């Protein structure tokens, strides 16, 4: 790989990406390929911390891989693979787990949230998966991790684990930094704009999926919650409009002042329709490319197989050094 800073990021295969996943993370991955060495993966091992239908998980994993390619991840420029195909992640996770404090994991916000949502299955994987997330990053000694603002706690834990390892065994791991887009880092629910847009939302009108057709997207935006002021402007107390302006800005490149000027004197109906059309048009090439890739299963398999081989070659060098540092006996 070229002598550039290295970026790592992964995404769970828990269904079609939302507009929030796309704007907050995946869309930023494409331009990064020209500036950094990029390693991206579908983190199917993280997905099983909650119960999954094996058939759906397998299909969602393949769909997520194809979606990343449809969103512009170039397998010639980046390493793109499926997490469970690369054994070094799990191997490093055990070492890092032995350098992670119980109290650190018990304070993780997402563990508390998921434990409440899945009270009948609070398994140890749900508790320790931030360590596997740290292993995903540190297996490549990544410099930067594109994350949404809600993932900063996990990245901070990865830094803490790396720092503790370095103090015990000598400087080795790079302390990864967050890469967060200035705008659109957090897209909110269309029905409750105080909450993040989530594919697990019970209300389908709250979420835009990037494979939704144009009519569906426009219909969902028309139903988006706003307020009673009928003024398109960005300010405190206007969560619904602020969210729609953020989305519109993200897909059109217009700043908030330009958006306010464009819709001055117009009602929310005109604005919501414009946002829906802009989003649908922006996502159309992704839907088309996804359909093409999904139909070519042999090519997809070639890509994820070669991606895993590259990831293993890269990460094995790092994990082998970690094994040596902690005192494991070399097998060769």
**Annotated active-site positions, please?**
114, 196, 199
* DSSP sequence for 19-88: HHHIIIIIHHHHHHHHHSEEEEEE-HHHHTTS---HHHHHHHHHHHHHHHHHTT--TTTSEEEEGGG-TH
**Distances, alpha carbon 316 to alpha carbons 95, 105, 313, 319, in Å:** 14, 26, 6, 5
Of the candidates 62, 25, 27, 34, the one whose C-alpha atom is nearest the C-alpha of residue 147 is: 25
Of the candidates 23, 19, 21, 12, the one whose C-alpha atom is nearest the C-alpha of residue 56 is: 12
User: Coil, strand or helix: which one is 80?
Assistant: strand
Of the candidates 12, 111, 15, 109, the one whose C-alpha atom is nearest the C-alpha of residue 56 is: 15
Asked if 42 contacts 210 with a C-beta cutoff of 8 angstroms, the reply is no
CB hemisphere CA count around 18 (13 angstroms): 25
Helix (H), strand (E) counts: the chain: 14, 5
- What six digits make up the tokens of 265? 């004197």
């Amino acid at each position: 790989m070229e002598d550039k800073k290295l970026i790592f990021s992964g995404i769970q295969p828990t269904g079609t990406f939302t507009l929030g996943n796309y704007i907050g993370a995946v869309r930023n991955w494409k331009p990064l390929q020209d500036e950094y060495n990029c390693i991206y993966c579908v983190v199917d091992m993280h997905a099983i911390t909650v119960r999954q239908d094996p058939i759906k998980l397998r299909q969602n994993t393949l769909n997520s891989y194809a979606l990343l390619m449809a969103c512009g991840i170039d397998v010639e420029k980046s390493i793109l693979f499926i997490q469970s195909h690369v054994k070094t992640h799990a191997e490093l996770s055990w070492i890092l787990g032995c350098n992670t404090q119980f109290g650190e994991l018990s304070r993780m916000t997402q563990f508390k949230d998921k434990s409440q949502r899945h009270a009948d299955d609070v398994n140890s994987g749900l508790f320790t998966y931030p360590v596997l997330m740290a292993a995903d990053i540190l297996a490549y000694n990544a410099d930067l991790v594109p994350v949404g603002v809600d993932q900063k706690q996990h990245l901070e834990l990865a830094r803490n684990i790396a720092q503790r390892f370095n103090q015990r065994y000598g400087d080795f791991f790079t302390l990864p930094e967050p890469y967060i887009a200035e705008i659109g880092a957090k897209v909110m629910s269309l029905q409750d704009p105080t909450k993040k847009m989530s594919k697990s939302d019970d209300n389908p009108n709250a979420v835009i999926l990037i494979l939704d057709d144009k009519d569906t997207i426009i219909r969902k935006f028309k139903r988006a919650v706003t307020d009673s002021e009928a003024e398109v402007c960005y300010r405190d107390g206007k969560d619904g409009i602020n969210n729609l302006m953020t989305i519109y800005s993200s897909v059109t490149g217009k700043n908030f002042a330009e958006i306010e000027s464009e819709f001055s004197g117009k009602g929310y109906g005109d604005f919501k329709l414009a946002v829906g059309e802009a989003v649908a048009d922006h996502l159309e090439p992704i839907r088309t490319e996804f359909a093409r890739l999904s139909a070519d299963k042999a090519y997809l398999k070639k890509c994820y197989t070669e991606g895993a081989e590259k990831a293993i070659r890269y990460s094995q060098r790092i994990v082998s050094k970690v094994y040596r540092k902690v005192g494991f006996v070399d097998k060769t």
